[in-house]
């Protein structure tokens, strides 16, 4: 039985349709990603699944509990890490963890034990008794995630958890989270607009666009379904884009061509074989180039196929984008 089930979720804010029939399920002990640009409906979905918002229609359950009929049970089963910091900067790391645990109903003895366990797990023990405001940004983000885990939830929601972190801090945070997932059966629901992060970390994902699920599956399978890698061509001038696009579309084996100003991406079944032919034909057509290369299929290509446009160019801020701060969902 899935640990999370959502069926036909709808939600509107005045004239804005934030969710329009969103459905998916999440297997226990996995990392599941809700992927989409700002305003796609990711955060609105998480608000409903964490009982912070009521859907206008549809049903959802978390850990076997209905989000509308059994909200207290849902809240007890989840941890929630918002985009904004939820720790007290004037308390130590250990004090933040113990206080959060006590607020979540954990006994004093167990709160101390969990604080020590999580400080060790996130490599924060050496700083445990320093004020959190003196910690680095990466350490503070680890503390936020640890606070979401202190009561041992079955499901942990991470809303854009690595925004603003440098690559090293991002890697360290994910290494720890994945170790906890694999070792405990914890389920992580990640919302992100980082395509690469979702590709590398998620066991399964859904791509949300304008409040609808446009694609779902394992990242590798979604990319494989595209039918090949991409020949990327950079032109000297965007004025040559239409001519270059016609040349690439005429080549055998080319499945789809996308043009963004002076860059064209031609998806092909045999990109390595298409590339030299593309260079020859563009040269014959007197199209000056800056360069060309083969690019592996990406989630951006997946998004383009199902949403009909490039990921980076999509999305408007929506009322559903505002999230409550704090590492835990209020009881």
Domains, the chain = 4-222+317-321 (3.40.50.300), 227-296 (3.30.70.980)
Percent of the residues in the chain that have a pLDDT greater than 90, as a whole number:
63
pLDDT of residue 323: 30
Nearest to 66 by CA among 23, 8, 6, 26: 6
Separation CA 180–CA 187 (nearest Å) = 10
The answer to whether 323 and 47 are in contact (CB under 8 A) is yes
Give the mean pLDDT of the chain.
88
Percent of the chain with pLDDT over 70: 92
pLDDT digits (tens, 9 = 90+) for 294-309: 988 788 778 777 776 5
pLDDT tens track for 206-216: 999 889 999 99
Q: 149-167, pLDDT tens digit by residue? A: 999 999 999 988 888 788 8
When pLDDT is averaged across residues 17-39 and rounded to a whole number, the result is 92
Please check the confidence at residue 330 and state whether its pLDDT lies above 60. no
For residue 326, pLDDT over 60 is answered with: no
The 10s digit of each residue's pLDDT in 262-277 is 999 898 888 999 999 9
Q: Tell whether the model's pLDDT for residue 281 goes beyond 60.
A: yes
Q: Give the whole-angstrom CA distance, residue 43 versus residue 193.
A: 11
- Res 308: pLDDT: 61
State the helix-helix crossing angle for 137-149 and 167-184, rounded to 10 degrees.
Answer: 20
Cα 216 to its chain centre, rounded Å, is: 13
- Cβ pair 320, 11 in contact under 8 A: yes
Poorest-pLDDT segment among 7-16, 211-220, 236-245, 315-324: 315-324
Sign (positive/negative) of CA torsion 84, 72, 109, 183? negative
Enter the pTM of the model.
0.79
Q: Name which of 51-60, 66-75, 203-212 the model is least confident about.
A: 203-212
Q: How far is CA 262 from CA 94, 237, 280, in A?
A: 53, 6, 18
pLDDT for the residue numbered 258: 85
Which pLDDT band, with edges at 50, 70 and 90, does 321 fall under?
Answer: very low
Which residues share a beta bridge with 232?
Answer: 265, 293
pLDDT the model gives residue 217:
94
Residue 325 pLDDT grade (very low, low, confident, very high; cuts 50, 70, 90): very low
Backbone φ, ψ for residue 135 (5° rounding): -80, 160
């Amino acid at each position: 039985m899935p640990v999370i089930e959502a069926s036909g979720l709808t939600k509107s804010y005045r004239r804005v349709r934030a969710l329009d029939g969103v459905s998916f399920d999440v297997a226990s002990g996995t990392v599941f990603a809700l992927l989409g640009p700002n305003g796609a409906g990711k955060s609105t979905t998480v608000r409903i699944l964490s009982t912070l918002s009521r859907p206008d229609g549809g049903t959802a359950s978390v850990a076997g509990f209905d989000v509308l009929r059994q909200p207290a049970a849902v809240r007890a089963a989840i941890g929630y890490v918002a985009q904004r910091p939820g720790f007290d900067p004037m308390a130590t790391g250990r004090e933040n963890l113990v206080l959060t645990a006590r607020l979540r109903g954990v006994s004093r003895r167990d709160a101390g034990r969990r604080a020590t366990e999580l400080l060790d797990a996130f490599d924060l023990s050496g700083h445990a008794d320093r004020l959190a405001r003196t910690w680095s940004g990466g350490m503070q983000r680890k503390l936020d995630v640890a606070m979401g885990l202190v009561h041992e939830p079955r499901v942990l929601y991470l809303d854009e958890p690595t925004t603003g972190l440098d690559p090293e801090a991002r890697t360290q945070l994910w290494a720890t989270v994945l170790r906890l997932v694999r070792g405990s059966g914890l389920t992580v629901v990640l919302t992100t607009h980082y395509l690469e992060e979702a590709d590398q970390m998620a066991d399964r994902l859904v791509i949300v666009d304008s409040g609808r699920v446009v694609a779902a599956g394992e990242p590798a399978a979604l990319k494989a379904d595209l039918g090949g890698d991409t020949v990327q061509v950079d032109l000297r001038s965007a004025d040559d884009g239409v001519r270059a696009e016609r040349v690439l579309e005429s080549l055998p084996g080319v499945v789809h061509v996308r043009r963004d100003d002076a860059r064209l991406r031609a998806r092909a079944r045999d990109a390595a074989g298409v590339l030299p032919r593309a260079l020859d034909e563009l040269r014959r057509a007197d199209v000056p180039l800056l360069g060309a290369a083969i690019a592996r299929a990406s989630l951006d290509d997946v998004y383009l196929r199902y949403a009909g446009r490039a990921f980076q160019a999509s999305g408007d801020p929506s009322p559903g984008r505002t999230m409550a701060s704090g590492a835990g969902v209020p009881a």
